[in-house]
Structure 1
Amino acid sequence: MRLAITADLAWHCQEPTDILLQIEAAASSDQRVLSSALDCTSAGHLARVPAQDGIGERIWLHQEGDFAVSYRAEVEVLRRAEPLETLAAVPPHRLPGETVAYLMDSHYCPASRFVPFADEEFAAVEGGARVVAMRDWIARHFRYVPGASNASTTAIDSFVERRGVCRDYAHVLICLARAAAIPARFSSGYGHAVKPQDFHALAEVWLADAAGKGAWRVVDATGMATAEDFARIAVGRDAADTSFLTSFGEAELRSLAITVRTV
Protein backbone atom coordinates (compact mmCIF):
# COMPACT_ATOMS: atom_id res chain seq x y z
CA MET A 1 0.00 0.00 0.00
CA ARG A 2 1.16 3.52 -0.81
CA LEU A 3 0.54 6.34 1.64
CA ALA A 4 0.79 10.10 1.02
CA ILE A 5 1.74 11.80 4.28
CA THR A 6 1.78 15.44 5.38
CA ALA A 7 2.74 16.76 8.82
CA ASP A 8 2.83 20.43 9.80
CA LEU A 9 4.04 21.52 13.23
CA ALA A 10 4.62 24.92 14.81
CA TRP A 11 5.89 25.82 18.25
CA HIS A 12 7.42 28.65 20.24
CA CYS A 13 10.55 28.65 22.41
CA GLN A 14 10.79 31.50 24.89
CA GLU A 15 14.57 31.08 25.09
CA PRO A 16 17.24 29.10 23.18
CA THR A 17 16.14 25.46 23.39
CA ASP A 18 17.47 22.13 22.17
CA ILE A 19 14.83 20.02 20.41
CA LEU A 20 14.93 16.44 19.17
CA LEU A 21 12.50 15.94 16.28
CA GLN A 22 11.38 12.54 14.98
CA ILE A 23 8.63 12.74 12.33
CA GLU A 24 10.03 11.22 9.11
CA ALA A 25 8.99 7.75 7.92
CA ALA A 26 11.96 5.38 8.12
CA ALA A 27 13.31 3.49 5.14
CA SER A 28 13.57 -0.22 6.00
CA SER A 29 13.18 -3.69 4.56
CA ASP A 30 9.40 -3.59 5.03
CA GLN A 31 8.69 -0.07 3.76
CA ARG A 32 10.12 2.12 1.01
CA VAL A 33 10.25 5.91 1.12
CA LEU A 34 9.48 6.93 -2.46
CA SER A 35 9.74 10.68 -1.89
CA SER A 36 10.39 12.89 1.10
CA ALA A 37 10.77 16.61 1.79
CA LEU A 38 11.30 18.45 5.07
CA ASP A 39 11.05 22.23 5.15
CA CYS A 40 11.60 24.24 8.31
CA THR A 41 12.11 27.73 9.62
CA SER A 42 15.78 28.68 9.63
CA ALA A 43 17.32 27.18 12.76
CA GLY A 44 20.50 28.02 14.60
CA HIS A 45 21.49 24.38 14.36
CA LEU A 46 20.13 21.33 12.47
CA ALA A 47 21.83 17.93 12.54
CA ARG A 48 20.62 14.40 11.79
CA VAL A 49 21.55 11.47 14.04
CA PRO A 50 20.58 7.77 13.89
CA ALA A 51 17.47 6.80 15.85
CA GLN A 52 16.86 3.76 18.10
CA ASP A 53 18.03 0.44 16.61
CA GLY A 54 19.23 2.32 13.52
CA ILE A 55 15.63 2.69 12.30
CA GLY A 56 15.08 6.18 10.92
CA GLU A 57 16.71 9.39 12.07
CA ARG A 58 16.27 12.02 14.73
CA ILE A 59 16.93 15.69 14.02
CA TRP A 60 18.66 17.96 16.52
CA LEU A 61 17.47 21.57 16.43
CA HIS A 62 18.57 24.57 18.46
CA GLN A 63 15.91 27.22 18.31
CA GLU A 64 14.52 30.36 19.91
CA GLY A 65 11.19 32.05 19.15
CA ASP A 66 8.66 30.80 16.59
CA PHE A 67 9.50 27.71 14.59
CA ALA A 68 7.63 25.63 11.99
CA VAL A 69 8.27 22.33 10.19
CA SER A 70 6.51 20.92 7.15
CA TYR A 71 7.00 17.27 6.14
CA ARG A 72 5.76 15.64 2.92
CA ALA A 73 6.35 12.03 1.93
CA GLU A 74 5.06 9.13 -0.11
CA VAL A 75 5.74 5.73 1.44
CA GLU A 76 5.14 2.24 0.05
CA VAL A 77 4.41 -0.27 2.81
CA LEU A 78 5.74 -3.69 1.78
CA ARG A 79 4.85 -5.81 4.80
CA ARG A 80 1.83 -8.09 4.73
CA ALA A 81 -0.56 -8.93 7.54
CA GLU A 82 -0.16 -12.47 8.85
CA PRO A 83 -2.46 -14.52 11.09
CA LEU A 84 -0.57 -14.17 14.37
CA GLU A 85 -2.46 -17.13 15.84
CA THR A 86 -0.41 -19.48 13.66
CA LEU A 87 2.99 -18.15 14.80
CA ALA A 88 4.97 -19.63 17.66
CA ALA A 89 6.94 -17.76 20.28
CA VAL A 90 10.73 -18.00 20.19
CA PRO A 91 12.08 -19.52 23.43
CA PRO A 92 13.99 -16.84 25.38
CA HIS A 93 17.29 -18.75 25.19
CA ARG A 94 17.03 -18.66 21.38
CA LEU A 95 16.29 -14.95 21.06
CA PRO A 96 18.83 -12.81 19.15
CA GLY A 97 20.67 -10.21 21.18
CA GLU A 98 18.90 -7.22 19.64
CA THR A 99 15.56 -8.39 21.06
CA VAL A 100 16.65 -8.91 24.67
CA ALA A 101 16.17 -5.27 25.74
CA TYR A 102 12.53 -5.62 24.73
CA LEU A 103 11.91 -8.21 27.43
CA MET A 104 12.86 -5.78 30.19
CA ASP A 105 11.00 -3.13 32.17
CA SER A 106 11.25 0.39 30.77
CA HIS A 107 10.13 3.86 31.82
CA TYR A 108 6.47 3.59 30.80
CA CYS A 109 6.31 -0.21 30.70
CA PRO A 110 6.96 -1.90 34.09
CA ALA A 111 6.29 -5.31 32.56
CA SER A 112 7.34 -7.32 35.62
CA ARG A 113 4.31 -5.90 37.47
CA PHE A 114 2.04 -7.59 34.91
CA VAL A 115 3.40 -11.14 35.26
CA PRO A 116 0.78 -12.44 37.75
CA PHE A 117 -2.11 -11.08 35.67
CA ALA A 118 -0.65 -12.34 32.36
CA ASP A 119 -0.04 -15.81 33.81
CA GLU A 120 -3.59 -16.05 35.14
CA GLU A 121 -5.50 -14.44 32.28
CA PHE A 122 -3.69 -15.88 29.25
CA ALA A 123 -2.30 -19.23 30.45
CA ALA A 124 -4.51 -21.24 28.07
CA VAL A 125 -2.79 -20.02 24.88
CA GLU A 126 0.79 -19.70 23.65
CA GLY A 127 2.84 -17.73 21.15
CA GLY A 128 1.02 -15.57 18.65
CA ALA A 129 -2.35 -16.79 19.92
CA ARG A 130 -1.46 -15.37 23.34
CA VAL A 131 -0.58 -12.00 21.79
CA VAL A 132 -3.92 -11.97 19.96
CA ALA A 133 -5.72 -12.77 23.22
CA MET A 134 -3.90 -9.88 24.92
CA ARG A 135 -4.74 -7.51 22.07
CA ASP A 136 -8.40 -8.51 22.14
CA TRP A 137 -8.58 -8.23 25.93
CA ILE A 138 -7.36 -4.62 25.75
CA ALA A 139 -9.78 -3.82 22.92
CA ARG A 140 -12.70 -5.14 24.98
CA HIS A 141 -11.83 -3.53 28.29
CA PHE A 142 -10.38 -0.13 27.31
CA ARG A 143 -12.05 3.07 26.12
CA TYR A 144 -10.28 5.32 23.63
CA VAL A 145 -10.44 8.75 25.30
CA PRO A 146 -8.35 11.61 23.84
CA GLY A 147 -6.79 13.66 26.61
CA ALA A 148 -7.15 10.89 29.19
CA SER A 149 -3.39 10.53 29.62
CA ASN A 150 -0.31 12.72 29.72
CA ALA A 151 3.47 12.49 29.65
CA SER A 152 3.58 10.90 33.12
CA THR A 153 0.97 8.16 32.46
CA THR A 154 2.45 4.65 32.66
CA ALA A 155 1.01 1.31 31.62
CA ILE A 156 0.04 0.70 35.26
CA ASP A 157 -2.05 3.90 35.25
CA SER A 158 -3.73 2.93 31.98
CA PHE A 159 -4.39 -0.62 33.19
CA VAL A 160 -6.10 0.69 36.33
CA GLU A 161 -8.15 3.36 34.56
CA ARG A 162 -8.96 1.19 31.49
CA ARG A 163 -8.80 4.15 29.12
CA GLY A 164 -6.32 6.13 27.09
CA VAL A 165 -5.07 6.80 23.58
CA CYS A 166 -2.94 4.77 21.20
CA ARG A 167 0.28 5.15 23.22
CA ASP A 168 -1.49 3.81 26.32
CA TYR A 169 -2.98 0.83 24.47
CA ALA A 170 0.49 0.06 23.10
CA HIS A 171 2.16 0.37 26.51
CA VAL A 172 -0.24 -2.11 28.12
CA LEU A 173 0.08 -4.60 25.26
CA ILE A 174 3.87 -4.33 25.43
CA CYS A 175 3.80 -5.03 29.17
CA LEU A 176 1.58 -8.08 28.76
CA ALA A 177 3.75 -9.52 25.99
CA ARG A 178 7.00 -8.93 27.89
CA ALA A 179 5.40 -10.49 30.97
CA ALA A 180 4.97 -13.63 28.85
CA ALA A 181 8.65 -13.56 27.73
CA ILE A 182 7.71 -12.31 24.23
CA PRO A 183 9.86 -9.35 23.13
CA ALA A 184 7.72 -6.29 22.43
CA ARG A 185 8.68 -2.82 21.31
CA PHE A 186 6.88 0.51 20.85
CA SER A 187 6.44 1.75 17.27
CA SER A 188 5.38 5.23 16.17
CA GLY A 189 4.18 6.14 12.71
CA TYR A 190 1.36 7.11 10.39
CA GLY A 191 -1.86 5.23 9.63
CA HIS A 192 -4.48 6.42 7.14
CA ALA A 193 -7.45 5.11 9.19
CA VAL A 194 -6.40 6.78 12.47
CA LYS A 195 -9.20 8.90 13.97
CA PRO A 196 -8.63 11.63 14.98
CA GLN A 197 -5.62 11.84 12.67
CA ASP A 198 -2.36 12.19 14.60
CA PHE A 199 0.95 10.44 15.07
CA HIS A 200 -0.02 6.83 15.82
CA ALA A 201 1.50 4.26 18.17
CA LEU A 202 1.25 0.50 18.31
CA ALA A 203 3.23 -2.53 19.46
CA GLU A 204 5.54 -4.85 17.55
CA VAL A 205 6.18 -8.34 18.92
CA TRP A 206 8.92 -10.82 18.05
CA LEU A 207 7.46 -14.16 16.91
CA ALA A 208 8.87 -17.10 14.98
CA ASP A 209 8.97 -16.96 11.18
CA ALA A 210 8.87 -19.84 8.69
CA ALA A 211 12.55 -20.55 9.37
CA GLY A 212 11.91 -20.54 13.13
CA LYS A 213 14.25 -17.60 13.73
CA GLY A 214 11.77 -14.81 14.32
CA ALA A 215 10.68 -11.39 13.05
CA TRP A 216 8.86 -8.31 14.30
CA ARG A 217 5.05 -8.30 13.80
CA VAL A 218 2.76 -5.28 14.01
CA VAL A 219 -0.08 -5.49 16.58
CA ASP A 220 -2.53 -2.63 17.22
CA ALA A 221 -4.95 -2.98 20.13
CA THR A 222 -6.85 0.14 18.99
CA GLY A 223 -7.74 -1.58 15.71
CA MET A 224 -6.96 1.59 13.74
CA ALA A 225 -3.87 0.33 11.88
CA THR A 226 -2.69 -2.91 10.31
CA ALA A 227 0.68 -4.19 9.16
CA GLU A 228 -0.21 -3.21 5.60
CA ASP A 229 -1.27 0.42 6.16
CA PHE A 230 1.13 1.62 8.86
CA ALA A 231 4.20 3.69 7.93
CA ARG A 232 6.75 3.39 10.73
CA ILE A 233 8.70 6.40 11.96
CA ALA A 234 10.64 4.94 14.88
CA VAL A 235 10.83 2.13 17.42
CA GLY A 236 11.90 1.98 21.04
CA ARG A 237 11.31 0.55 24.48
CA ASP A 238 8.28 2.81 24.96
CA ALA A 239 7.02 6.29 24.04
CA ALA A 240 10.07 7.95 25.61
CA ASP A 241 12.23 6.62 22.76
CA THR A 242 9.90 7.61 19.93
CA SER A 243 8.38 10.97 20.80
CA PHE A 244 7.87 13.18 17.74
CA LEU A 245 9.26 16.13 19.72
CA THR A 246 11.47 16.06 22.79
CA SER A 247 12.54 19.45 24.14
CA PHE A 248 15.38 20.15 26.54
CA GLY A 249 13.84 23.37 27.77
CA GLU A 250 10.45 25.04 27.33
CA ALA A 251 8.84 24.51 23.90
CA GLU A 252 5.15 25.34 23.45
CA LEU A 253 3.53 23.34 20.66
CA ARG A 254 1.09 25.74 18.98
CA SER A 255 -0.24 23.69 16.08
CA LEU A 256 -0.11 20.15 14.73
CA ALA A 257 -1.83 18.92 11.57
CA ILE A 258 -1.38 15.51 9.94
CA THR A 259 -3.01 13.96 6.90
CA VAL A 260 -2.52 10.43 5.62
CA ARG A 261 -4.23 9.11 2.52
CA THR A 262 -3.84 6.11 0.26
CA VAL A 263 -2.39 6.64 -3.21
Structure 2
Amino acid sequence: MPFKINASFAFEAKQPTDVLLQFEAAAIPEQRFLSTDTWLTKSEQFARVPAQENIGERIWVRAEGHFKVDYTCEIEVDRMLTEIEPLRQMDAHDLPGETVQYLFDSRYCQGDRFQSFVDAEFGDLVGGKRIMAMHDWVADHFSYVPGASGPQTTALDSFVERRGICRDYAHVMVTLARASGIPARFVSCFAPGVNPPDFHAVAEVFLEDTTTPGGGAWYLVDATGMATPSDIVKIGVGRDAADVSFMTSFGLTDFLEKTISVEETNKE
Protein backbone atom coordinates (compact mmCIF):
# COMPACT_ATOMS: atom_id res chain seq x y z
CA MET A 1 0.00 0.00 0.00
CA PRO A 2 1.56 3.35 -1.06
CA PHE A 3 1.51 6.51 1.04
CA LYS A 4 2.59 10.13 0.67
CA ILE A 5 4.05 11.64 3.84
CA ASN A 6 4.74 15.29 4.61
CA ALA A 7 6.28 16.35 7.90
CA SER A 8 7.61 19.69 9.02
CA PHE A 9 8.53 21.23 12.34
CA ALA A 10 10.54 24.16 13.66
CA PHE A 11 12.26 25.20 16.85
CA GLU A 12 14.43 28.02 18.18
CA ALA A 13 17.82 27.60 19.88
CA LYS A 14 19.10 30.76 21.54
CA GLN A 15 22.68 29.45 21.58
CA PRO A 16 24.52 26.63 19.76
CA THR A 17 22.75 23.43 20.85
CA ASP A 18 23.15 19.77 19.93
CA VAL A 19 19.85 18.27 18.79
CA LEU A 20 19.16 14.64 17.86
CA LEU A 21 16.41 14.14 15.28
CA GLN A 22 14.57 11.00 14.13
CA PHE A 23 11.68 11.76 11.79
CA GLU A 24 12.31 9.93 8.51
CA ALA A 25 10.65 6.67 7.47
CA ALA A 26 13.05 3.77 7.95
CA ALA A 27 14.68 2.03 5.00
CA ILE A 28 13.74 -1.57 5.82
CA PRO A 29 12.67 -4.48 3.58
CA GLU A 30 8.94 -4.07 4.24
CA GLN A 31 9.02 -0.38 3.19
CA ARG A 32 9.97 0.59 -0.38
CA PHE A 33 10.72 4.23 -1.14
CA LEU A 34 9.25 5.69 -4.33
CA SER A 35 10.70 9.15 -3.61
CA THR A 36 12.10 11.00 -0.62
CA ASP A 37 13.41 14.47 0.20
CA THR A 38 14.75 15.94 3.44
CA TRP A 39 15.53 19.62 3.94
CA LEU A 40 17.00 21.14 7.12
CA THR A 41 18.21 24.60 7.99
CA LYS A 42 21.99 24.82 7.54
CA SER A 43 23.86 24.12 10.75
CA GLU A 44 27.37 24.01 12.10
CA GLN A 45 27.19 20.22 12.40
CA PHE A 46 25.20 17.58 10.50
CA ALA A 47 25.76 13.84 10.86
CA ARG A 48 23.67 10.73 10.24
CA VAL A 49 24.01 7.83 12.67
CA PRO A 50 22.25 4.43 12.84
CA ALA A 51 19.18 4.29 15.04
CA GLN A 52 18.33 1.53 17.49
CA GLU A 53 18.29 -1.99 15.97
CA ASN A 54 19.52 -0.32 12.76
CA ILE A 55 15.90 0.54 11.99
CA GLY A 56 16.06 4.04 10.54
CA GLU A 57 18.61 6.76 11.14
CA ARG A 58 19.09 9.60 13.57
CA ILE A 59 20.45 13.00 12.57
CA TRP A 60 22.72 15.11 14.77
CA VAL A 61 22.59 18.86 14.19
CA ARG A 62 24.24 21.75 15.98
CA ALA A 63 21.46 24.31 15.84
CA GLU A 64 21.38 28.02 16.60
CA GLY A 65 18.53 30.44 16.01
CA HIS A 66 15.48 29.43 14.00
CA PHE A 67 15.75 25.85 12.74
CA LYS A 68 13.27 24.17 10.41
CA VAL A 69 12.83 20.61 9.12
CA ASP A 70 10.85 19.68 6.00
CA TYR A 71 10.42 16.04 4.99
CA THR A 72 8.50 14.46 2.13
CA CYS A 73 8.40 10.89 0.94
CA GLU A 74 6.33 8.48 -1.08
CA ILE A 75 6.62 4.96 0.25
CA GLU A 76 4.99 1.60 -0.30
CA VAL A 77 4.36 -0.76 2.61
CA ASP A 78 4.49 -4.48 1.83
CA ARG A 79 4.40 -6.19 5.21
CA MET A 80 3.53 -9.81 5.93
CA LEU A 81 0.30 -9.81 7.92
CA THR A 82 -0.29 -12.47 10.55
CA GLU A 83 -3.14 -13.00 12.98
CA ILE A 84 -1.65 -12.56 16.43
CA GLU A 85 -4.14 -14.45 18.59
CA PRO A 86 -3.07 -18.02 17.66
CA LEU A 87 0.66 -17.33 18.13
CA ARG A 88 2.66 -19.03 20.88
CA GLN A 89 4.74 -17.18 23.43
CA MET A 90 8.38 -18.21 23.23
CA ASP A 91 10.12 -19.56 26.32
CA ALA A 92 12.56 -17.02 27.73
CA HIS A 93 15.56 -19.29 27.18
CA ASP A 94 14.66 -19.59 23.48
CA LEU A 95 14.54 -15.84 22.82
CA PRO A 96 17.17 -14.30 20.49
CA GLY A 97 19.69 -12.25 22.44
CA GLU A 98 18.68 -8.95 20.86
CA THR A 99 15.10 -9.29 22.19
CA VAL A 100 16.05 -9.78 25.85
CA GLN A 101 16.45 -6.03 26.53
CA TYR A 102 12.75 -5.65 25.73
CA LEU A 103 11.79 -7.77 28.74
CA PHE A 104 13.30 -5.26 31.17
CA ASP A 105 11.83 -2.12 32.71
CA SER A 106 12.68 1.17 31.02
CA ARG A 107 12.14 4.85 31.77
CA TYR A 108 8.42 4.92 30.91
CA CYS A 109 7.54 1.22 31.09
CA GLN A 110 7.80 -0.36 34.55
CA GLY A 111 6.64 -3.88 33.84
CA ASP A 112 7.47 -5.26 37.29
CA ARG A 113 4.78 -2.99 38.80
CA PHE A 114 2.11 -4.72 36.68
CA GLN A 115 2.84 -8.40 37.24
CA SER A 116 0.09 -8.93 39.81
CA PHE A 117 -2.42 -7.10 37.58
CA VAL A 118 -1.69 -9.16 34.46
CA ASP A 119 -1.80 -12.38 36.46
CA ALA A 120 -5.19 -11.47 37.91
CA GLU A 121 -6.71 -10.04 34.71
CA PHE A 122 -5.17 -12.27 32.01
CA GLY A 123 -3.78 -15.23 33.97
CA ASP A 124 -5.80 -17.83 32.03
CA LEU A 125 -4.43 -16.64 28.66
CA VAL A 126 -1.02 -17.08 27.03
CA GLY A 127 0.87 -15.84 23.97
CA GLY A 128 -1.11 -14.09 21.28
CA LYS A 129 -4.41 -14.62 23.09
CA ARG A 130 -3.06 -12.67 26.06
CA ILE A 131 -1.69 -9.89 23.83
CA MET A 132 -5.03 -9.41 22.09
CA ALA A 133 -6.90 -9.52 25.41
CA MET A 134 -4.60 -6.79 26.73
CA HIS A 135 -5.12 -4.83 23.49
CA ASP A 136 -8.89 -5.04 23.98
CA TRP A 137 -8.64 -4.12 27.67
CA VAL A 138 -6.66 -0.95 26.92
CA ALA A 139 -8.97 -0.03 24.04
CA ASP A 140 -12.04 -0.47 26.28
CA HIS A 141 -10.73 1.24 29.42
CA PHE A 142 -8.75 4.20 28.02
CA SER A 143 -9.92 7.46 26.48
CA TYR A 144 -7.89 9.17 23.76
CA VAL A 145 -7.50 12.73 25.07
CA PRO A 146 -4.94 15.05 23.40
CA GLY A 147 -3.14 17.12 26.02
CA ALA A 148 -3.95 14.70 28.85
CA SER A 149 -0.32 13.62 29.26
CA GLY A 150 3.16 15.10 28.99
CA PRO A 151 6.82 14.19 28.53
CA GLN A 152 7.07 12.80 32.08
CA THR A 153 3.95 10.59 31.90
CA THR A 154 4.76 6.91 32.48
CA ALA A 155 2.72 3.81 31.77
CA LEU A 156 1.82 3.67 35.46
CA ASP A 157 0.54 7.26 35.34
CA SER A 158 -1.55 6.44 32.25
CA PHE A 159 -2.89 3.27 33.87
CA VAL A 160 -4.12 5.30 36.83
CA GLU A 161 -5.57 8.13 34.71
CA ARG A 162 -7.04 5.80 32.03
CA ARG A 163 -6.49 8.42 29.34
CA GLY A 164 -3.78 9.72 27.07
CA ILE A 165 -2.55 9.80 23.49
CA CYS A 166 -0.95 7.17 21.23
CA ARG A 167 2.35 7.39 23.10
CA ASP A 168 0.57 6.45 26.34
CA TYR A 169 -1.44 3.62 24.78
CA ALA A 170 1.78 2.18 23.36
CA HIS A 171 3.60 2.50 26.69
CA VAL A 172 0.82 0.63 28.52
CA MET A 173 0.74 -2.15 25.89
CA VAL A 174 4.52 -2.51 26.06
CA THR A 175 4.42 -2.61 29.85
CA LEU A 176 1.66 -5.22 30.08
CA ALA A 177 3.45 -7.44 27.59
CA ARG A 178 6.76 -7.21 29.47
CA ALA A 179 4.96 -7.99 32.73
CA SER A 180 3.80 -11.17 30.98
CA GLY A 181 7.31 -12.18 29.95
CA ILE A 182 6.76 -11.21 26.31
CA PRO A 183 9.39 -8.92 24.72
CA ALA A 184 7.78 -5.64 23.66
CA ARG A 185 9.12 -2.43 22.18
CA PHE A 186 7.90 1.04 21.28
CA VAL A 187 7.50 1.94 17.60
CA SER A 188 7.52 5.50 16.27
CA CYS A 189 5.68 5.64 12.95
CA PHE A 190 3.48 7.40 10.44
CA ALA A 191 -0.09 6.25 9.78
CA PRO A 192 -2.92 7.72 7.69
CA GLY A 193 -5.74 7.39 10.23
CA VAL A 194 -4.24 9.42 13.05
CA ASN A 195 -6.56 12.14 14.36
CA PRO A 196 -5.38 14.79 14.96
CA PRO A 197 -2.60 14.21 12.38
CA ASP A 198 0.77 13.75 14.07
CA PHE A 199 3.62 11.33 14.51
CA HIS A 200 2.10 8.08 15.73
CA ALA A 201 3.22 5.41 18.20
CA VAL A 202 2.32 1.73 18.53
CA ALA A 203 3.63 -1.32 20.35
CA GLU A 204 5.43 -4.29 18.85
CA VAL A 205 5.57 -7.72 20.52
CA PHE A 206 7.81 -10.72 19.91
CA LEU A 207 6.01 -14.05 19.47
CA GLU A 208 6.59 -17.24 17.50
CA ASP A 209 7.12 -17.12 13.74
CA THR A 210 5.00 -19.90 12.28
CA THR A 211 7.04 -19.84 9.05
CA THR A 212 10.31 -20.63 10.85
CA PRO A 213 10.40 -23.63 13.21
CA GLY A 214 11.69 -22.46 16.58
CA GLY A 215 11.87 -18.86 15.40
CA GLY A 216 10.14 -15.66 16.41
CA ALA A 217 9.09 -12.35 14.86
CA TRP A 218 7.87 -8.88 15.79
CA TYR A 219 4.17 -8.03 15.44
CA LEU A 220 2.62 -4.55 15.50
CA VAL A 221 -0.22 -3.78 17.94
CA ASP A 222 -2.13 -0.48 18.09
CA ALA A 223 -4.59 -0.23 20.98
CA THR A 224 -5.82 3.19 19.79
CA GLY A 225 -7.44 1.48 16.80
CA MET A 226 -6.25 4.26 14.49
CA ALA A 227 -3.76 2.17 12.50
CA THR A 228 -3.36 -1.39 11.26
CA PRO A 229 -0.09 -3.20 10.42
CA SER A 230 -0.77 -2.82 6.70
CA ASP A 231 -0.70 1.00 6.86
CA ILE A 232 1.98 1.66 9.48
CA VAL A 233 5.20 3.26 8.19
CA LYS A 234 7.96 2.67 10.73
CA ILE A 235 10.34 5.46 11.72
CA GLY A 236 12.21 3.66 14.50
CA VAL A 237 11.97 1.39 17.53
CA GLY A 238 13.14 1.56 21.12
CA ARG A 239 12.53 0.55 24.71
CA ASP A 240 10.05 3.42 25.03
CA ALA A 241 9.42 6.93 23.68
CA ALA A 242 12.73 8.25 25.01
CA ASP A 243 14.60 6.13 22.46
CA VAL A 244 12.69 7.32 19.40
CA SER A 245 11.67 10.91 20.02
CA PHE A 246 11.52 12.89 16.77
CA MET A 247 13.52 15.61 18.55
CA THR A 248 15.80 15.40 21.58
CA SER A 249 17.52 18.64 22.57
CA PHE A 250 20.70 18.65 24.64
CA GLY A 251 20.17 22.24 25.69
CA LEU A 252 17.41 24.85 25.89
CA THR A 253 15.18 25.14 22.81
CA ASP A 254 11.72 26.54 22.16
CA PHE A 255 9.51 24.30 20.04
CA LEU A 256 7.54 26.41 17.56
CA GLU A 257 5.36 24.35 15.23
CA LYS A 258 4.68 20.94 13.71
CA THR A 259 2.62 19.72 10.74
CA ILE A 260 2.17 16.07 9.71
CA SER A 261 0.11 14.59 6.88
CA VAL A 262 -0.10 10.98 5.71
CA GLU A 263 -2.25 10.06 2.72
CA GLU A 264 -2.86 6.80 0.95
CA THR A 265 -2.14 7.15 -2.78
CA ASN A 266 -2.88 5.08 -5.84
CA LYS A 267 -0.10 3.10 -7.49
CA GLU A 268 -1.12 4.32 -10.94
Q: TM range, normalised to the smaller chain?
A: over 0.9
- The AA in structure 1 aligned to 2:260 is I
CA distance in 1, matches of 2:93, 2:127: 15
- The AA in structure 1 aligned to 2:229 is A
Partner of 1:260: 262
Displacement of 1:81: 3.0
Q: Deviations over 1:67-116 (max 9, x none)?
A: 11100011111114321111111111100001000000000001111100
Partner of 2:243: 241
- Determine if contact 1:81/1:226 at 8 Å carries over to the other structure: no
Map 1:1-263 → 2, pairs under 5 A? 1-210=1-210, 211=212, 212-263=214-265
- The AA in structure 2 aligned to 1:220 is D
In the alignment, structure 2 segments of 5+ residues that lack a partner are none
Which stretch of structure 1 is more off in the superposition, 168-177 or 208-217?
208-217
- The AA in structure 1 aligned to 2:239 is R
CA distance in 2, matches of 1:32, 1:218: 18
CA distance in 1, matches of 2:9, 2:142: 30
- The AA in structure 1 aligned to 2:152 is S
Secondary structure of 1:84's aligned partner = coil
CA distance in 2, matches of 1:6, 1:112: 39
Displacement of 1:251: 1.4
Displacement of 1:38: 0.4
Which stretch of structure 1 is more off in the superposition, 230-239 or 37-46?
37-46
In the alignment, structure 1 segments of 5+ residues that lack a partner are none
Q: Deviations over 1:101-156 (max 9, x none)?
A: 00000000011111000111001211111000001000000000101111111000
What fraction of aligned residue pairs are identical, expressed as a percent? 55
- The AA in structure 2 aligned to 1:53 is E
CA distance in 2, matches of 1:77, 1:87: 23
Displacement of 1:35: 1.7
TM-score (norm 2): 0.97
Displacement of 1:214: 0.7
- Determine if contact 1:26/1:33 at 8 Å carries over to the other structure: no
Runs of 4+, deviation exceeding 3 Å: none
